[in-house]
Amino acid sequence: MNAQGRNYPGINLDHEPQTHAEAEEKVFGFWVFLMSDLVLFALLFATYATMTGATAGGPSGGDVFELKSTMIETGLLLASSFTFGMASLEIKYGGKGRLFAWLAVTLLFGALFLGFEWRDFATMIAQGAPPSRSGFLSAFFVLVGTHGLHVTAGCVWIVVMMAQIAVFGTARDVKIRMLRLGLFWHFLDIVWIAIFSVVYLPGLVR
Amino acid sequence: MSGADLWHLLFGKLSADALPFYSAIAATAAGVVVCGALGAALLITWLGRWRYLWREWFTSLDHKKIGIMYVVLSLVMLARAVVEACMMRMQQAVAFDSAGFLPPDHFAQLFTTHGTIMIFFMAMPFLTGLINFVMPLQIGARDVSFPMMNSVSLGLTTAGAGLMMVSLVLGKFSTGGWSGYPPYTELGFNPGVGPDYWIWAVTLSSLGSTLTGINFAVTIYKRRAPGMTLFRMPLFCWTALCASILMIFAMPPLTVATALLACDRYLGMHFFTNSLGGNMMNFANLFWLFGHPEVYILILPPFGVWSEVIANFSAKYLYGYRSLVYATMAIAVLSFTVWVHHFFTMGQSADVNAAFGIATMLIGIPTGVKIYDWMLTLFRGRVRFTVPMLYALAFLLLFPLGGLTGILLANPAVDYQVHNTLFLVAHFHNMLIPGLLFGMLAGYHYWFPKAFGFRLDEVWGRIAFALWVAGFVLAFMPLYALGLMAMPRRTDAFFEAAYLPYTLVAAFGALLILAALVSLCVQVWVSVRRRRETEVFAGDPWNGRTLEWATSSPPPDYNFAVLPQVEGRDAFWLMKQDGRAYRTPDRYEDIEVPRNSAMGPVVGMAGAAAGFALVWHIGWLAIIGVLTMGGALIARSFVRHTTRTIAADEVRRIEARWRDAVAASPGVTRDDETTPANRGHAAMEVA
Ligand code: HEM
Ligand SMILES: [Cu+2]
């Protein structure tokens, strides 16, 4: 294939064929990893679905879920995806400063999301709905908590990338890492949408 | 803070009670482990080889060395698991109307460790090692896609194996079988550390295997040499690809199963408990959603080995190449549709059972296709009965037998009769020993000269082969009968006189298998001593057909000075046919290879520490272990010089030395392959 044909379809890489060849392999590998991770989530969803009735006389979703806070969390995460998109654009067009700023905003939204989630969990536990109360609550906490852990990992990753940009600038390997971080971050959004629709909405409607 | 509190803070649940002085057998086993580890460490120190091992092996990112380390790990674990198997067979030979020498609890630990080790720490590392070593060479690549991750996978697997070994010395292992079913592994039934050992050992290894699967699949998709289209790949690469895809999709269910079990045990949750909404059927489903694809992860790479060995030692193109590829893919897909056959008796409706029974039987079709393809490859071939070929023949005779009993078991009505009896044990050993283990051993004999530059001793190879086959037949054929006579599996004692003759024969068979293992050790010893006579540096001792034989033995760090141009299937054979083999390239270029990295050992050790700490509830150590793993990863991302360059001149020197050796070795005919005349340069013969 010619150099043009091998260009990685991301928007923010340079014109070096070497970069594109490297991105091709590394980003593909990351897609494969995400696929594996998605299987993990799928099974947690399946487990949750089989356990929605296993409340053992304890609270059910409708008793403890809170619509307002869930909506805020959703908004925060979606907004963070947007801001990450802006950061991606800045790799190509902007300077380091703006890139930094967008990443910082993304990080802030991610952290806020985690804060709200933490508060939700704390309220539920205080209301007598800890994960050890019933199979249903175990499944809920582990599913949503696993997503939360992923977001935490994503936040750490953003910090690492900010450090790398500070040290190395937008070098080739940094860009390819940013591409993968982007996939990861948007992937978490999609998983959250699934959580919102499978966990919170039916729980609240019922 | 009292002394006891302080102790708990520092050492968790560890105490002198953890030492195995309650039983002479357990204490002996612990002694062997401790002495073995100390002895090995002392020997290395005495020889002054630590630095060498660290530099040349542990930190190496070379796929060939990582592959060899995987195989070494697997052979060590094989030794332990075979000894355990023999103990179980001895117990069942003497435990008629008596307690035998193993208390029930100890017997239960033995079948659990034996099964867990054989699957996760013998079979998986063995096939991962072979693929690691062979696959990049076969597709004409210089390394895998992610060399550092490769080393981390090895580290994680070794950490799991290390936990298994430590469990012999400190604490008692799980009694819940290799499948770790609750309630046996739940807190309520077993509050000890055993199930925790099982959880973390298996989790570490499953994480390693997930990463391995990703690595291999990406390598095969992205690193093939020019002209190496998918349908020109050797069949071993196809099976490696399908097994890798299975790993990517099938390892997560295991990780989820063990993680949720850990949540139950550590955080008091209720996924699989008997109370408060827990449901152990979820565990059975999750586990077998992994477990059945897993048996195809185990069997596909050996199928690849058979394809290579049979084609090579018949001097023919593989018969029905495409059908073998499609059969491999069909098996990979179908393997996700049959998991319920592991628990036909657990209460789902007859319709569900029927659907899964039929799906299971369907897998027999592609597998049958393969058997015929291999037989037709032999047909009118130029067959040589080398050790790998002998294993292949034993496989072709014995494996279909296990397949047939599998078809029997696929019928839910039959399964109800023999479920949980030794019939099942006979069935799956009949698949795993002639299929997987013989395949791995055949691959080991076949590729050993490629890895080390000299051939293995044929005579001892044949002795070991004969013992393996005889041992297998004697140890497992009686179990079919015992199963039909309703002897349950996992039984430590029995009162039915009719069983006794069979258990005695099976015990004798197990001893033959032990002798086979010893013969393999003798073979290594003899082969190393005679390595001058069997030296094959020129690299092509078996008149090979695929690209791995187009390099010196052992291959240089960079594998290929110039990436080979592939013109068709059996690429090296074609090169030899039209005189392109061994041709000196016009010019050499600098080659970049991965620089060594301590990531693998560091992550492995941190993982082992974290696992051990979680088993014994040592909070601080668990935190340090996990943080070290994450920190190492982050630190590594700041390292920018991850490759080293081998200069063109250096490459020229290395290549010239090899070409001189090829020119200097006389061509050897196939008849003389196993004689000292074989210097690794095959003579051109008609077909
Ligand atoms: C080398 C000769 C071997 C012998 C003599 C042997 C013997 C045994 C015995 C006696 C048992 C316990 C049967 C019972 O439940 O009563 C057992 C179980 C088992 N073996 Fe082997 N085995 C051998 C090789 C293998 C290999 C190569 C594998 C897999 C790669 C394997 C995997 C297993 C598994 C998974 C179990 C079930 C453990 C459980 O019940 O949880 N074995 N074997
Ligand atoms: Cu199965």
pLDDT tens for each residue of B266-278: 999 999 999 999 9
Looking at residue A10, what is its pLDDT? Answer: 61
Check CB contact under 8 Å for A44 and B256: yes
Task: Give, in degrees to the nearest 5, the angle at Cα B222 between B443 and B445.
Answer: 5
Check CB contact under 8 Å for A168 and B640: yes
Looking at residue B97, what is its pLDDT? Answer: 93
Strand partners, B682: B668
Looking at residue A93, what is its pLDDT? Answer: 76
User: How confident is residue B188, by pLDDT bands cut at 50, 70 and 90?
Assistant: very high
Task: Say what the ipTM of the complex is.
Answer: 0.95
Q: Which atom of ligand 1 is nearest to the CA of B110?
A: 12
User: How confident is residue A1, by pLDDT bands cut at 50, 70 and 90?
Assistant: very low
Element containing residue B24 per DSSP (H, E): helix B24-47
Rounded mean pLDDT of chain B?
96
Rounded mean pLDDT of chain A?
91
Looking at residue B684, what is its pLDDT? Answer: 84
- Give the chain A residue nearest B210 (alpha carbons): A36
Of the candidates B607, B640, B612, which has an alpha carbon nearest to the alpha carbon of residue B196? B612
The minimum CA-CA distance between B328 and chain A, rounded to whole Å, is 21
User: How confident is residue A3, by pLDDT bands cut at 50, 70 and 90?
Assistant: very low
The Cβ of residue A206 has, within 10 Å, a number of other Cβ atoms equal to 11
The minimum CA-CA distance between B293 and chain A, rounded to whole Å, is 14
Whole-angstrom distance, CA of residue B210 vs CA of residue B248: 5
Domain positions in chain B = 49-597+642-672, 604-641
User: How confident is residue A96, by pLDDT bands cut at 50, 70 and 90?
Assistant: confident
User: How confident is residue A171, by pLDDT bands cut at 50, 70 and 90?
Assistant: confident
Region of poorest pLDDT, from A6-15, A166-175, B318-327, B668-677: A6-15
Residue B329 has pLDDT above 80, yes or no: yes
Check CB contact under 8 Å for B271 and A167: no
Looking at residue B2, what is its pLDDT? Answer: 84
Of the candidates B507, B430, B407, which has an alpha carbon nearest to the alpha carbon of residue B91? B507
- List, as one string, the DSSP characters of A15-41: S-HHHHHHHHHHHHHHHHHHHHHHHHH
Check CB contact under 8 Å for A36 and B251: yes
Whole-angstrom distance, CA of residue B201 vs CA of residue A164: 34
Cα B208 to averaged position of ligand 1 atoms, centre (Å): 23
Q: pLDDT, tens digit, for every residue of B456-502?
A: 999 999 999 999 999 999 999 999 999 999 999 999 999 999 999 99
Please name the amino acid found at residue B652: R
Cα B88 to averaged position of ligand 1 atoms, centre (Å): 9
What is the rounded average pLDDT of the residues A10-25?
77
Token pair in block for residue B637: 């991302």
Q: pLDDT, tens digit, for every residue of B190-248?
A: 999 999 999 999 999 999 999 999 999 999 999 999 999 999 999 999 999 999 999 99
Of the candidates A178, A169, A159, A152, which has an alpha carbon nearest to the alpha carbon of residue A26? A178
User: How confident is residue A162, by pLDDT bands cut at 50, 70 and 90?
Assistant: very high
Residue B346 has pLDDT above 70, yes or no: yes
Q: Ligand 1 in contact with B114 (CB < 6 A)?
A: yes
The minimum CA-CA distance between B218 and chain A, rounded to whole Å, is 6
Are residues B225 and B563 in contact, defined by beta-carbon separation less than 8 angstroms?
yes
Strand partners, B645: B592
Nearest to B277 among A54, A156, A177 (CB): A54
* Torsion sign over Cα B113, B115, B116, B120: positive
User: How confident is residue B687, by pLDDT bands cut at 50, 70 and 90?
Assistant: low
Looking at residue B686, what is its pLDDT? Answer: 62
- Give, in words, the CATH class of A3-44+64-204: mainly alpha
Please name the amino acid found at residue B585: P
- φ and ψ at residue B100, rounded to 5 degrees: 70, -165
Record the pTM: 0.96
What is the rounded average pLDDT of the residues B629-635?
97
Q: What's the DSSP call for residue B102?
A: S
Whole-angstrom distance, CA of residue B301 vs CA of residue B130: 9
What residues contact B119, with CB distance under 8 A and at least 6 apart? B178, B294, B298
Looking at residue B22, what is its pLDDT? Answer: 87
Looking at residue A23, what is its pLDDT? Answer: 87
- Ligand number nearest CA of B359 is 2
What residues contact B655, with CB distance under 8 A and at least 6 apart? B556, B561, B584, B588
- List, as one string, the DSSP characters of B384-441: ---HHHHHHHHHHHHHHHHHHHHHHHHSHHHHHHHTTBHHHHHHHHHHIIIIIIHHHH
What is the rounded average pLDDT of the residues B411-421?
95
**Crossing angle of helices B63-94 and B124-138, rounded to 10°:** 150
Are residues B206 and B254 in contact, defined by beta-carbon separation less than 8 angstroms?
yes
Q: pLDDT, tens digit, for every residue of B70-119?
A: 999 999 999 999 999 999 999 999 999 999 999 999 999 999 999 999 99
CATH T-level fold of B49-597+642-672: Cytochrome C Oxidase; Chain A (1.20.210)
Does B543 contact A at CB distance below 8 Å?
no
Residue B251 has pLDDT above 60, yes or no: yes
Q: What's the DSSP call for residue B651?
A: H
Residue with the bigger pLDDT between A93 and A33: it is A33
Whole-angstrom distance, CA of residue A186 vs CA of residue A82: 9
Q: pLDDT, tens digit, for every residue of B502-543?
A: 999 999 999 999 999 999 999 999 999 999 999 999 999 999
Q: Ligand 1 in contact with B469 (CB < 6 A)?
A: no
* Torsion sign over Cα B396, B401, B406, B407: positive
Q: How many CA atoms lie within 13 A of B225 on its CB side?
A: 28
Looking at residue B137, what is its pLDDT? Answer: 98
Looking at residue B391, what is its pLDDT? Answer: 98
Chain CA centroid to CA B521, Å: 18
What is the rounded average pLDDT of the residues B376-400?
97
- List, as one string, the DSSP characters of B241-307: HHHHHHHHHHHHHHHHHHHHHHHHHHH---SS-SSTT--HHHHHHHHHHHHHHHHHHHHHHHHHHHH
